[in-house]
């Protein structure tokens, strides 16, 4: 069972967190290169799992389209939103307060060498966490991320359902995933909407998905009350250990 060092970065600007995770990623890759003549199990390798909340920022993946950002640079500045084109997969997404962003930095040669399985595992961590809150989340064919099906859940606030009937009749994305791998070492990760202000998603085409039957949601929107972020992180960490068959240690 692999040991993964857990670090909660609290609130951090995107550039600072990106620089930090990139330095850790480089550390793992350099260690592999230094020991390239040894089997993976014959030299020590550190793994990391970072959680963070960012100030408002849009990030555009390497396969994304800039036209999916619906604001001009002056409009971004006026609203206090940063923008970064980055090297993960996927299109454009939003990070902001009330959203748990997770960056697993793992050498998958110590776990499994399967990118699709890695993404499915991240989805599974979120799905299991949502189940603890009574939500039956899942996957959609041909789309990454974690979704809730059409129709309100039994836990959805009745007043909100009545006021927004069109919203509840859509598939609702609650967690976006975008990753990058170099020499089987992972970078970037997931964005899990907990108490996220959903109006920010009106300024982009989320994940580049143009479909009137799909939208974005948050755990707060689905349950009708704000969540304790620490409680959500605790549950998420537990399921991360179970799904990836690892143990977390602060450090």
Among 175, 207, 241, 246, the active-site one is 207
Among 153, 121, 128, smallest CA distance to 217 is for 153
CA 189 and chain centroid, separation: 5
Q: What is the 3-state secondary structure (H, E, C) of 8-47?
A: EEEECCHHHHHHHHHHHHHHHHHHHHHCCCCCHHHCCCCC
Each as own residue / partner, the long-range contacts of residues 119-123 (CB below 8 Å, 24 or more positions apart, any chain) are: 119/144, 119/177, 119/179, 121/243, 121/244, 122/177, 122/179, 122/189, 122/190, 123/175, 123/177
Q: Which token pair is 40?
A: 């993976």
Report the C-alpha gap between 217 and 164 in whole angstroms: 13
Q: Is 175 a catalytic residue?
A: no
Those residues whose C-beta lies under 8 Å from the C-beta of residue 113, and which sit 6 or more positions away, are 184
Those residues whose C-beta lies under 8 Å from the C-beta of residue 142, and which sit 6 or more positions away, are none
Q: Which residues are catalytic?
A: 207
């Amino acid at each position: 069972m692999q040991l993964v060092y857990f670090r909660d970065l609290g609130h951090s600007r995107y550039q600072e967190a990106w620089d930090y995770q990139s330095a850790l990623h480089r550390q793992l890759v350099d260690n592999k290169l230094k020991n390239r003549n040894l089997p993976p199990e014959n030299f020590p390798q550190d793994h990391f799992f970072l959680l963070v909340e960012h100030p408002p920022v849009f990030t555009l993946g390497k396969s994304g389209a800039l036209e999916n950002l619906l604001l001009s640079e002056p409009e971004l500045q006026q609203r206090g939103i940063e923008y970064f084109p980055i090297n993960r997969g996927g299109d454009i997404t939003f990070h902001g307060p009330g959203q748990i962003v997770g960056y697993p930095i793992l050498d998958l040669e110590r776990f499994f060498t399967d990118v699709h399985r890695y993404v499915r595992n991240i989805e599974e961590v979120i799905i299991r966490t949502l189940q603890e809150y009574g939500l039956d989340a899942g996957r959609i064919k041909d789309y990454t991320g974690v979704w809730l099906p059409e129709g309100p859940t039994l836990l959805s606030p009745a007043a909100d359902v009545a006021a927004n009937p069109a919203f509840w009749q859509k598939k609702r994305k609650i967690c976006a995933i975008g990753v990058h791998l170099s020499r089987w070492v992972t970078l970037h990760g997931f964005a899990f909407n907990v108490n996220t202000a959903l109006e920010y998603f009106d300024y982009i085409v989320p994940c580049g998905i143009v479909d009137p039957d799909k939208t974005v949601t948050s755990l707060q929107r689905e349950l009708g009350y704000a969540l304790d972020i620490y409680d959500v992180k605790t549950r998420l960490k537990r399921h991360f250990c179970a799904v990836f068959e690892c143990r977390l240690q602060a450090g």
